Chain A
């Protein structure tokens, strides 16, 4: 598959690879939200972790680990870049279509951007639940299909 330069760049120099400790540690830390989406047999799994500043409500840091194709890695790498410095509300506004546009993802790879949006939402829900915040029904209004 021939990819555009932005995908290649994120794939070759992925931003913010990592996590904030082991699964167990991240589960108990209230500042951390973890979104784990996808399935190994589908060929992609994304783990997106956010660290939220309790005072300001902004995302201080974001990290990812992804098992998947180049587009999946690039989509999650880009997501971490966009998440940093945003408030939770702003982060919730990220749509997969923006990722598609930014990376010029080919049509067959749109599901990678959908997965990235799902991972963002899942991380936010995890954070909110840990902190007793109300969780809105998360609506699936992606462009493109599963």
Chain B
């Protein structure tokens, strides 16, 4: 069989929609097109039934009850509702005054967590942005040391989207529970890939998204705990009071049905997918590191998601590398691939030097990634790095024994 190019290895960015998901969605566009809010005719009832079933699947995936699931447009919205909604609800002092309450998060969270927290800081809340160690893992100990008497919310992602490392979520949750602090986790990269039980894992609020788990884009969910404790949130959007008032707006019914189907499939297949992808990722990492000198796997070697590899290559630049591996669709931590011209803040956050942060690739595998594709990627990446090193003055200097950190560079 010939390999179809380019090969998609950017599943942490988004995944293809599962055909079974698409099939489940289709009737809700053209036949069962009612508004689930219409209580007095068949069209409304059909739509409502679709949403109810999806809610069951979503709840089951994370060990919650259906009443605890709020459908949203995706993780960004879920994070915003959770973080701002909880902050406004549990604040210590009147709106606008200083010292409204303290929030703990981490520097290497996704922007969809960092930016809501930063907005709250502008509005008078205080926040601690934990600095993770080199392995990228946020521990309960780190969170514990950051807690204050006025801490009202802890928000720590379950697994990091760039480096795939897994934080001590269950332990952080336990700590928060003991102190009576609301705990939110952005589980966008985790839920649907790895098991979740919101009770055992001590979670109060959890965000996840459809398009990372072979569902459609533009739909996601927020879990809001209803018992021990009953978490309250101030809604950010006013309107018809849908989703128990947490998220007004007509429901995206085909999207929600697809999201539910994706959750159902994920629950059934996550274990076998994780085992297979873990093996393929390991192969990718070990083969590349054995064929090239001066490359490093970023993030903890074991405590990481099975499907996300993040590798830095010394003496080559990320965007140049991306061009050289143009038949592999992946991401880079390079400045040149971002609008800001700054290298990845996640890699910088875990202490990867700017030089190596510039030359990293994130390769994320998915349900339909084949061994053949992985072998192809290994070959292409090794070849590309070798070619670019032939062109790299830094690699020459390195081989001549020149310490690059001692060279006086003409800074721009």
Contacts and interface: CB of A to CB of B under 8 A. Distances in A.
Interface string A12-24: 0010010100111
Contacts of B355: 40-41
A22 B341 CA distance: 32
A23 B394 CA distance: 11
B412 A65 contact: no
A34 to B, nearest CB: 10
Contacts of A67: 315-317, 320, 388, 391-395
Interface stretch (A44-52, A94-102, A128-136): A44-52
A68 B317 contact: yes
A69 B411 contact: no
Q: How large is the interface on A (under 10, 10 to 19, 20 to 34, 35 or more residues)?
A: 35 or more
B323 A45 contact: no
B317 A47 contact: no
A38 B410 contact: yes
Interface in B357-411: 358, 388, 390-397, 400, 402, 404, 409-411
Contact of B319 (A1, A14, A111): A1
A146 interface: yes
Contacts of A75: none
B235 to A, nearest CB: 40
B392 A37 contact: no
A23 B402 contact: yes
A70 B391 contact: no
A42 B411 contact: yes
B335 interface: yes
Contacts, number: 95
Given A23-B400, A43-B335, A45-B409, A66 B393 contact: yes
Given A42-B411, A65-B396, A146-B412, A70 B323 contact: yes
Interface string A72-87: 1100000000000000
Interface string A101-136: 000000010010001001000100000000000000
Contacts of A66: 391-393
A111 B317 contact: no
B396 A19 contact: yes
B343 interface: yes
A43 B409 contact: no
B404 A111 contact: no
Interface in B325-346: 334-337, 341, 343
Interface residues of B, number: 33
A76 to B, nearest CB: 9
Nearest to B397: A23
A36 interface: yes
Most buried by A among B315, B391, B404: B391
Contacts of B395: 67
Contacts of B337: 1
Most buried by B among A19, A37, A40, A73: A40
B358 A37 contact: no
A40 B354 contact: yes
A70 B354 contact: no
Contact of A43 (B323, B334, B353): B334
B255 to A, nearest CB: 30
A22 B396 CA distance: 8
Nearest to A65: B393
A2 B393 CA distance: 26
A29 B358 CA distance: 33
B391 A17 contact: yes
A80 to B, nearest CB: 12
A108 B412 CA distance: 15
Contact of B412 (A11, A69, A111): A111
Contact of B391 (A14, A111, A115): A14
A141 B23 CA distance: 61
A46 B404 CA distance: 14
A115 B409 CA distance: 13
B394 A17 contact: no
A97 B388 CA distance: 26
- 6 tightest Cβ-Cβ pairs between the two chains A and B: A39-B409, A41-B354, A47-B393, A69-B319, A65-B393, A40-B355
8 contacts: A23-B402, A41-B358, A65-B393, A67-B316, A67-B320, A69-B336, A70-B319, A70-B320
